[in-house]
Amino acid sequence: MARNSLWAEKVLALARGGNLDAAIAQVKVAPSLKDLQALQAALIVHRLAGRWRNLDQAITDALAHLSAPRLHRAP
């Protein structure tokens, strides 16, 4: 059974609350690629994709960095 991570929902709440700098900081230290993908999907589902360009760019950059086969973060 897969564990349900609430990280994406918490970052989305930060952005919605107006604390975009904290949301971007959280994206930069995302726990996993799966969590970043969940955040990106949540933005699309809630129709918030494109609303915060800096956040979208941070997510795109983090996805690219974590998707690279030789780049990974230690647990």
The pLDDT tens digits for 7-61 are: 999 999 999 999 999 999 999 998 888 999 999 999 999 998 889 999 999 999 9
User: How far is the CA of 7 from the CAs of 12, 50, 69, 70, in angstroms?
Assistant: 9, 20, 23, 24
What does the pLDDT read at residue 3?
56
Between 67 and 13, the more confident residue is 13
Q: What is the pTM of this model?
A: 0.80
What is the Cα–Cα distance from 49 to 74, expressed in whole angstroms? 29
Q: Do the Cβ atoms of 66 and 32 come closer than 8 Å?
A: yes
What tokens appear for 65 in the block? 């960095």
- Residue 33 burial (C-beta neighbours within 10 Å; 0-12, 13-18, 19+): middle
